Structure 1
Amino acid sequence: MARHTTDDIESSAVEALDLEAATPKHGFFVRLYTGTGAFEVIGRRKMWYAISGLIVAACILSIALKGFTFGIDFEGGTKVSMPTAGQNGTVTTQQVEDVFSKTLGKSPESVVLVGSGGSATVQIRSEALNNQQTEQLRDALFDAFKPKGSDGQPSKQAISDSAVSETWGGQITKKALLALGVFLVLAAIYITLRYERYMAVSALTTMVFDLVVTAGVYSIVGFEVTPATVIGLLTILGFSLYDTVIVFDKVEENTHGFEHTTRRTFAEQANLAVNQTFMRSINTSLISVLPIVALMVVAVWLLGVGTLMDLALVQLVGVIVGTYSSIFFATPLLVTLREHTDLVRTHTRRVLNRRKPAASAGDVVAGGAVDLDGATEAEPAEATIGGNPAVGNKPAPGARPVRPSSSRAGRPTGKRSPRGQ
């Protein structure tokens, strides 16, 4: 293989730097959209691990100390609903609580307002009431507030009630846990068959992360856990898995046969994949969030359908958590696991060995690399990190994808550059 002189190296370095300087500097959102941002995700994975660890610790602590607010379907009890619009004015939760306590001689477990405006309803939840107590409460609420029915006239039928026994609640709990377990098993089987073991471990760990954080948010904020919450949880776990698969597919594409090239390390190729899928993950999340927000605004606030709030809340929390974990947790964890293998460690050393001589030969080589036999070639300017040459003893944490305007002109042609030009 022909060897290049120091003049060739310096000339190629100048050409590469000139190409980088000539490349138009795009704004943040343009670089984000085109995948040319070279944002350091993998290179700062220790920071993301620390943030994720704090989030998980706070969620587990809340679950252990505070627990969950289970809905009537899980714990059993009686729920009474009544429109807030009545002949005697708008009903408030405090007024309803006072009537309940005066009628039955005990306080309700909760009195909440669902919806807004004329369609708002007040929901009373208490321990299980017998038929006589339920009828007494309905009579007292009607006498006190005269709630209006669908025809605009006071009607006792506007006050509805439902009861769930503790036995039924226990059965619902077992079925919900069974459904969650079946989903996790099926997801584990798919991931194990679809990807190599390190990707499978990372994806499954990410799913557990999403499950714990979503449950922790419900515990911290005090959202009520209902069967709709479980359904929503299964939905967002599927979304999180889908988002992780998108990133992993790109990682798999970028790292295919990585051991046969020394342009970038495995970590840099993975970071490149994250950059290339940033916008796709953001767009997927936005498209998922918009109907959820519409569901919350229209169904809950305008129509007063409180049961849909449980489904919307868990989906909103899950989409946010799933997007974060697929970018800042799943891929960094994959890189950490792979860097413990001999193949990746050996390849990283080869990449570093190619970069060291290039940096010392001229101190200005842009992404320079030295072939194993000592011949030097300059890497194109697009293999830079945030515009800085990827040289030195430490591998750069990411790599900028090739821009359409960046040709491979920065690579030496093998011709000697004349002096003095």
Structure 2
Amino acid sequence: MKMSKYAFIFSIVLTIAGIITLSAFGLNYGVDFQAGSNVDVKLSKNVTKAEVEPLLDKIHLSDGATVAPGDKRVNIRFTKELNEDQSEQLKSAIQELDKTASFEINTVDTEMAKELGRNAIYSVLISCIGIIIYVSIRFEWRFALAAIVALLHDAFMVVAVFSIFRLEVSLTFIVAVLTIIGYSINDTIVIFDRIRENLRFGKQKTKDDLKAIMNKSVSQMLMRSLYTALTVFIAAFFLFLFGGESIKMFSLAMVIGLLFGAYSSIFIASPLWLVFKSKQKTSAKPAKPSKA
């Protein structure tokens, strides 16, 4: 609890910075959330951006196109939908560099992009509502409120980092955010369960009593939380380093979310519960002295 004030300040500063960045720049949406075409090309050799861009200019497709070379592959994103003729022209142009090139073209129209965006928001909101209901029934509303603040904090931090560094947001990113929410609430619930157990046997007459119970509970589960976060972090980190291009942003979002998830379960969720519980104690009327 001694460190919670600094954690609250740190999280508030990051949240304000994230809100400012999102307001100013928004998110770098992938083709899943905006109309356009995404072309993934597998090659037998490495090519550079300087080799691909002149070919796009030659077939008049360079306007609004983003070229991202990789290891024996190149990804080309267009802000407009490619028709069949343009797709064939693109294939012919790329095959001038490599005749064995294979293509995967994904196209999203405007209505589909809007629908995917709405569904992504609904999925996050519905999952949060379900978590609030479950935790309220299993524990109490103060635990539920603290848990939902912590997991929304984790999800927003990932969104903010992606906005600041202009990383692409696609459907796999939404999957990562939902996974982070599930992981974060799991870690938080483990600590809350230990707090509830210790409340049964510890005195809780004053705020200091509650603080001692919370600190004891977090200390008892601290290494378990850190070990779990570390093992999952290692898996996600190496998936980011060596995984394919299609899951790179998913892995990166997981790495960021896991770090914030472990942090919030210890320094945000539990101290928040203590703040809410302490208000209950201070607002409770003192018992009247019995008459002799």
Confirm whether residue 259 of structure 1 aligns to residue 206 of structure 2.
no
Match in the other structure for 1:55: 14
Aligned partners of 2:125, 2:157: CA distance in 1, in Å?
17
Larger radius of gyration between Structure 1 and Structure 2: 1
> Does the 8 A contact of 1:69 with 1:224 survive in 2?
yes
Aligned partners of 2:145, 2:61: CA distance in 1, in Å?
55
With a CA cutoff of 8 Å and minimum separation of 6, indicate the structure with the bigger relative contact order.
Answer: 1
Aligned partners of 1:95, 1:51: CA distance in 2, in Å?
45
Match in the other structure for 2:272: 333
List runs of 5+ in structure 1 lacking aligned partners: 1-41, 148-153, 301-305, 348-421
From the two aligned structures, give the one with the greater helix fraction. 2
Match in the other structure for 2:91: 138
Aligned partners of 2:175, 2:281: CA distance in 1, in Å?
43
Residues 125-170 of structure 1, C-alpha deviation per residue, up to 9 Å, x if partnerless?
0121222122212212212x1x2xxxxxx335x2332322122222
Aligned partners of 1:298, 1:259: CA distance in 2, in Å?
51
Q: TM-score scaled to structure 1, two decimals?
A: 0.63
> Does the 8 A contact of 2:205 with 2:281 survive in 1?
no
Confirm whether residue 232 of structure 1 aligns to residue 184 of structure 2.
no
> Does the 8 A contact of 2:81 with 2:107 survive in 1?
yes
Confirm whether residue 92 of structure 1 aligns to residue 59 of structure 2.
no
Instruction: For residue 26 of structure 2, give the secondary structure of its aligned residue in structure 1.
Output: coil
Aligned partners of 2:195, 2:223: CA distance in 1, in Å?
15
1:390-409 matches, cutoff 5 A: none
Q: 1:128 to 1:339 in 2, by over 3 A?
A: same
Aligned partners of 1:249, 1:111: CA distance in 2, in Å?
50
Q: TM-score scaled to structure 2, two decimals?
A: 0.89
1:294-309 matches, cutoff 5 A: 294-300=238-244, 306-309=245-248
Match in the other structure for 2:145: 201
Match in the other structure for 1:315: 254
Residues 370-421 of structure 1, C-alpha deviation per residue, up to 9 Å, x if partnerless?
xxxxxxxxxxxxxxxxxxxxxxxxxxxxxxxxxxxxxxxxxxxxxxxxxxxx
The number of residues matched between the two structures is 284
> Does the 8 A contact of 1:79 with 1:162 survive in 2?
yes
Match in the other structure for 1:81: 40
Match in the other structure for 1:155: 100
Match in the other structure for 2:110: 166
Indicate which of 94, 99, 121 corresponds to 2:73.
121
> Does the 8 A contact of 2:240 with 2:247 survive in 1?
yes
Q: 1:108 to 1:101 in 2, by over 3 A?
A: farther
Task: Name the aligned partner's letter for residue 20 of structure 2.
Answer: L
Q: 1:173 to 1:260 in 2, by over 3 A?
A: closer
Task: Name the aligned partner's letter for residue 102 of structure 1.
Answer: K
Aligned partners of 1:169, 1:309: CA distance in 2, in Å?
21
1:257 to partner: Cα distance = 4.7
Query: Identity rate of aligned residues, in percent?
Result: 25
Residues 25-78 of structure 1, C-alpha deviation per residue, up to 9 Å, x if partnerless?
xxxxxxxxxxxxxxxxx0232111111111111111111111101111110211
Instruction: For residue 341 of structure 1, give the secondary structure of its aligned residue in structure 2.
Output: helix
After superposition, the CA RMSD in angstroms is 2.2
Indicate which of 205, 227, 231 corresponds to 1:287.
231
1:175 to partner: Cα distance = 2.0
Instruction: For residue 75 of structure 2, give the secondary structure of its aligned residue in structure 1.
Output: strand
Q: 1:238 to 1:341 in 2, by over 3 A?
A: same
1:266 to partner: Cα distance = 1.2
Residues 158-197 of structure 1, C-alpha deviation per residue, up to 9 Å, x if partnerless?
2332322122222222222222222111111101111122
